[in-house]
Amino acid sequence: MTRLPDGYRTIEIGEDRQEEFRAVDRLAFAWPPDPEVDAQVPFTVPFDRAMAVEGPGSRLAAVHGSYPFTLPVPGGVVPCAGLTWVGVRPDERRRGLLTSMIATHVERSLARREPVSALFAAEQGIYGRFGYGCAADAVRLTLPRRAALRPVPGSEALTVELATADADLHEDLVDRLHVAAGAERPGWVVRSTPALRRRILVDPPQWRAGGEPMQLATVRAPGGEPRGFALLRRTSRWTEAGPEFPVDVLAAVALDAPATHRLWSFLLDLDLTSSVSTPKLALDDPLLSLLVDQRPGRPRLEDNLWVRLLDLPTALAGRRYLAPLDTVLEVTDALVPANAGRWRLRSHSVDEQGTWALAVERTDQDAQLRVDVRELGAAYLGGRSLAGLVAAGLVEERTPGAGVPAAAAFGWPVAPLCSWTF
Ligand SMILES: CC(C)(COP(=O)(O)OP(=O)(O)OC[C@H]1O[C@@H](n2cnc3c(N)ncnc32)[C@H](O)[C@@H]1OP(=O)(O)O)[C@@H](O)C(=O)NCCC(=O)NCCS
C-alpha cells in the first residue's frame, strides 16, 4: 500500500527547497505564480514537518506538511498533527504518492506522540479511505442587509471601531480574542505558530478580487476593552438600481452574547451594502438563534474539520463523555493495525459538570458495536452522532440498541467547529 514507484523516495524538506515545495502545491492547486504575493505571505509549514516525494532527476513530485496543533476536544485538549499543503503534481497523480505520504504522516505523527490528526479536505472524496471522518459541519449564509436580530440586553452599550487590518498592529488582539472566544468549542484550533498568526492578517491586493483592503471591526466595552472582532471586505458595486455592495465577512468572533449581537448589528447594516456573507459558522452559532428569519440567508451546509484517530486509546481517553458508558467496540483500521480489534470503553469517574472520564482497554469480550476508525473520527468531537451513523449503516450494532448509549456518551453540548481553513 505504501510502496512508491521505482526511483521515488520520501524526503524531508529544508528551507533551501522551500520554493520547490511551494511550486508543487502551486501546480496542484492551479495557483498563479506571483513573487509579489509570495514575498508578503509567510511560509507557514514548520521545516521539521515539511515532507516531499522526490522523483527521478531530484524533481519534487508531491508534498505535504503538518502543523503542531492542540486540538480542543470535548472537555479537554489533545496534541494534533494538522495535515496541510497536500499536493501531488498533476502529471504524477494516481500512482500512490498521496497514499505513501499519508503513511509517512501517520508514522511521523505517532512518533511525535500526536494521537490525532485533523485536516480540511479540498474534495470530500479524498480522505475517508485513510480513516479520516468528517467530525464537524459548518453552515454559511448570505444575508440581506438589515436582516433583523432578536434583541440582546447590553448590546447597545458596546461600540464598534473600524480600521484597515494591519498584521503589525492587530495580530495580538485578533489572536487573543480568537483563542478566548473558542475556549469551550471542540475543534476550535488556534494558530499555533507566529507564521500562522500573521498569515490571517496578510492581505495582498491580488487576493482582493476588486474589493477594499481587509477591514477589522472591533467591538469594545464602554471602558475600551475588546470583546469581539470581525475581518471583512466590501466590494464597491454600482448598478442602475444604486449601490449593491456585497460584504464578505471573513471571520467573526465574540466573547459573549451582547458582543455577538453588537458585531452582527454592525455588519448587517453598513451603508451602500446589499448582502452579507458569513464566514463558516458552527451549527449552534449564536447568530443562527438571533436571526429573526434565517431563510433569506439560504443556509448552506459544508464539511469542516476531518479527524483521524492515530492512537485510538490515547485519543478516546483524551476527551470527556456526556453520559456513563460501558461498551465494547470492534474497531477496523486498514492503515494503523494497532487500533484494530476489540476495545472496552468504560467510564470511571464523573466531574462536577457531570462529564465522564473513560478507560480504554483491549478486551476479548464480545463487541456491542462494530465501527471503522473513520466513523470514530467523525464522532470524536461530538459532531456526528454514533446513532446517526448506525442509521446510515456505517456503524453496526452487534447488540441491538447499543448505538444509543454510545451516542449519548459521545455527544457534546457545544457543536464542533474550526473557524479557519488550514
Ligand atoms: C488529491 C491528491 C493529493 C491525490 O493524490 P494521488 O497521489 O493521486 O493519490 P493516490 O494515487 O495515492 O490515490 C489513492 C486513492 O485515492 C483516490 N483519490 C485520489 N484523489 C481523489 C479525489 N480527489 N477524489 C476521489 N478519490 C481520490 C485514488 O483514486 C486512489 O484510489 P484507489 O486506491 O481506489 O485506486 C492529488 O490528486 C492532488 O494533489 N490534487 C489537487 C490538490 C488537492 O486536492 N490536494 C488535497 C488537499 S486537502
Q: Indicate which residue's Cα is closest to atom 28 of ligand 1.
A: 94
- Collect all residues with Cβ–Cβ distance below 8 Å to 172 and sequence separation of at least 6: none
- Collect all residues with Cβ–Cβ distance below 8 Å to 289 and sequence separation of at least 6: 150
What mean pLDDT comes out for the span 196-204? 96
Q: What is the pLDDT of residues 267-303, one digit of tens each?
A: 999 999 999 999 999 999 999 999 999 999 999 999 9
Query: Which pLDDT belongs to residue 17?
Result: 98
Amino acid identity of residue 246, one-letter, is P
3-state SS assignment for residue 81: strand
Cα-to-centroid distance, 98 and ligand 1 (Å): 6
CA angle 60, 336, 379 (to 5 degrees): 105
Tabulate helix, strand, coil % of the chain (nearest 5). 30, 30, 40
d(CA 144, CA 156): 22
Mutate to test the pocket of ligand 1, among 26, 67, 93 (most ligand atoms within 8 A of CB): 93
112-150 burial by CB neighbour count: b if 16+ within 10 A, else e? eebbbbbbbbeeeeebbebbbbbbbbbbbbbbebebebe
Q: What is the pLDDT of residues 111-166, one digit of tens each?
A: 999 999 999 999 999 999 999 999 999 999 999 999 999 999 999 999 999 999 99
Cα-to-centroid distance, 99 and ligand 1 (Å): 8
| Per-residue pLDDT band at 1 (split at 50, 70, 90) | low
Cα-to-centroid distance, 422 and ligand 1 (Å): 18
| Per-residue pLDDT band at 3 (split at 50, 70, 90) | confident
Contact 320, 74 (CB under 8 A): yes
Cα-to-centroid distance, 260 and ligand 1 (Å): 40
| Per-residue pLDDT band at 2 (split at 50, 70, 90) | low
- Tracing cell 485536516 back to the chain, one arrives at 119
Q: What is the pLDDT of residues 352-410, one digit of tens each?
A: 999 999 999 999 999 999 999 999 999 999 999 999 999 999 999 999 999 999 999 99
Q: Of the candidates 259, 258, 260, which has an alpha carbon nearest to the alpha carbon of residue 288?
A: 260
Q: Indicate which residue's Cα is closest to atom 31 of ligand 1.
A: 94
H runs (alpha helix) in 182-285 = 194-199, 257-267
- 123 CA closest ligand 1 atom index: 23
Q: Indicate which residue's Cα is closest to atom 4 of ligand 1.
A: 98
- Domains, in order of start, for the chain: 9-114 (3.40.630.30), 140-300 (3.40.630.30), 319-410 (3.30.1050.10)
- 93 CA closest ligand 1 atom index: 8
d(CA 362, CA 408): 22
Contact 119, 84 (CB under 8 A): yes
Q: Which residues line ligand 1 (CB under 6 A)?
A: 28-29, 86-88, 93-99, 121-123, 125-126, 129
- Average pLDDT over the chain reads 97
Cα-to-centroid distance, 134 and ligand 1 (Å): 17
What mean pLDDT comes out for the span 88-116? 98
What mean pLDDT comes out for the span 36-61? 96
What mean pLDDT comes out for the span 308-322? 98
Per-residue HEC secondary structure of 159-198 comes to EEEEEECCHHHHHHHHHHHHHHHCCCCCCCCCCCCHHHHH
What mean pLDDT comes out for the span 198-203? 96
- 85 CA closest ligand 1 atom index: 47
Q: Indicate which residue's Cα is closest to atom 22 of ligand 1.
A: 126
Cα-to-centroid distance, 286 and ligand 1 (Å): 37
Cα-to-centroid distance, 373 and ligand 1 (Å): 20
Q: Pairing state of beta strands 76-88 and 116-119?
A: parallel
Cα-to-centroid distance, 74 and ligand 1 (Å): 31
Query: Which pLDDT belongs to residue 327?
Result: 98
Residues 276, 259, 302, 43, CA torsion sign: positive
Q: Indicate which residue's Cα is closest to atom 29 of ligand 1.
A: 94
